[in-house]
Amino acid sequence: MNVSELLSDHTVRVVVLGSAMIGAVSGAMGCFAYLRRQSLIGDVVSHSALLGIVMAFWIVYLLTGQGNRSLVVLMPGAFLAGLASLLLTRSVVRSTRLKEDASLGVMLAIFFGSGMMLLRYLQRGSPPIPGRSGLDQYLFGMAAAMTRADLWMIGVVGAGVLTVMSLAWSRLKIITFDQDYAAGLGLRVDLLEVVLLALIVMGIVIGLQIAGVVLMISLLVAPAASARQWTYSLGRMVCLAATIGGVSAGLGGVISSIGRSLPTGPIIVLLVTLVFVVSVVCAPRRGFISRWQRGRQIHVD
């Protein structure tokens, strides 16, 4: 199959378009997580989201008697579970002497542990729930499972996230870099922080279908970390990260559709990691090569 043939295939087009949109949104949101030095929340939120996904699937099954795996059902569940894990982490850090990293780690046990338990329970129980076999695709991601309805959901949610981001741009920028200053200006820091966290959680949750809960951190953080090497402006960084995320995810979607149903997540992760390595080595001013040259100049002088 050559490239033009491939892109004219209907399923592949859905997958590429969906993956690219997802990658762009996750990449853009990742910038905020990265700059706030909270990259690891990407890992914890995505793992926690598994509980939400499985719960949503189960509740809809109990209500309607049908197994429904469309994003319209699963995404709200994932969002709520992800946000809950973050708010619980904040509450633990604020009211005990446990440090943030350990608090985040505990959420993995609580949410991912019970998510896995429920997932295996649903997969085992009888009578078999129709559609349950696809649930564990959320572990490592399977872009090929995307449907047209999912595409709409991704488009609407992604556009919503980006719109909120641009409307609240200056405020988000201030609380990302300097919370004390934001409080001094009389902004409602607590509220803004929850809004920003909710946006980041959306950026994570939207990507689970292609990257999977285990590897989502890479799709969130790698584009941001790469973009950071090339620019010193937040606006340019977000645009660049969205582009990197979109292109890598789209490409990853294509590769996994051709190759014997490989899980999409690992392929996308390796692509974004490649971009990251190239950025760290080649970026002007900050990159290894430019550092090395500067070092030589100083030596010669």
How large is the C-alpha radius of gyration of the chain? 20
Give least dist CB 240 to other proteins, A: 15
> Does 255 interact with other proteins (rule: CB under 8 A)?
no
- Evaluate the omega torsion of the peptide bond into residue 266 and state whether it is cis, within 30 degrees of 0: no
Pairwise CA distance, residues 10 & 113, whole Å: 37
With CB under 8 A as the contact rule, the residue among 52, 82, 246, 266 that binds other proteins is: 266
Q: Among residues 24 and 227, whose Cβ is nearest to other proteins? A: 227
**Residues 222-251 contacting other proteins, CB under 8 A:** 222, 224-225, 228-229
> Does 145 interact with other proteins (rule: CB under 8 A)?
no
Please identify, among the stretches 167-175, 187-195, 201-209, 262-270, the one whose residues bind other proteins according to the rule CB under 8 A. Answer: 262-270
> Does 117 interact with other proteins (rule: CB under 8 A)?
yes
Pairwise CA distance, residues 154 & 142, whole Å: 15
Give least dist CB 257 to other proteins, A: 15
> Does 164 interact with other proteins (rule: CB under 8 A)?
no
Q: Among residues 43 and 153, whose Cβ is nearest to other proteins? A: 43
Size of the site for other proteins (CB under 8 A): 61
Residue keyed to tokens 């564990």: 136
SS (H, E, C) 227-240: HHHHCCCHHHHHHH
* DSSP secondary structure, 97-126, as one string: S--HHHHHHHHIIIIIHHHHHHHHHHHH-S
238 near 31, Cβ under 8 Å? Answer: yes
Say how many C-beta atoms besides its own lie within 10 A of residue 127's C-beta: 5
Give least dist CB 289 to other proteins, A: 13
7 near 16, Cβ under 8 Å? Answer: yes
With CB under 8 A as the contact rule, the residue among 7, 59, 87, 102 that binds other proteins is: 102
With CB under 8 A as the contact rule, the residue among 59, 87, 109, 167 that binds other proteins is: 109
> Does 132 interact with other proteins (rule: CB under 8 A)?
no
Smallest CA-to-CA distance from 160 within 17, 29, 257 is with 29
**Residues 190-229 contacting other proteins, CB under 8 A:** 214-215, 217-218, 221-222, 224-225, 228-229
> What are the residues whose beta carbons fall under 8 Å from the beta carbon of 129, sequence distance 6 or more?
61, 67, 122
**Residues 271-290 contacting other proteins, CB under 8 A:** 273, 276, 280, 286, 288
> What are the residues whose beta carbons fall under 8 Å from the beta carbon of 70, sequence distance 6 or more?
147, 149, 150, 153
Residue keyed to tokens 């090929």: 144
Please identify, among the stretches 150-158, 188-196, 236-244, 270-278, the one whose residues bind other proteins according to the rule CB under 8 A. Answer: 270-278
Q: Among residues 64 and 96, whose Cβ is nearest to other proteins? A: 96
With CB under 8 A as the contact rule, the residue among 66, 96, 133, 166 that binds other proteins is: 96
Report residue 66 as tokens. Answer: 């049908």
Name the strand (E) or helix (H) holding 187. Answer: none
> Does 87 interact with other proteins (rule: CB under 8 A)?
no
Vertex 101 angle, CA 34 and 235, to 5°: 10
Contact set with other proteins (CB under 8 A): 34, 37-40, 42-43, 91-92, 95-99, 101-121, 124, 136, 139-140, 214-215, 217-218, 221-222, 224-225, 228-229, 262-263, 265-267, 269-270, 273, 276, 280, 286, 288
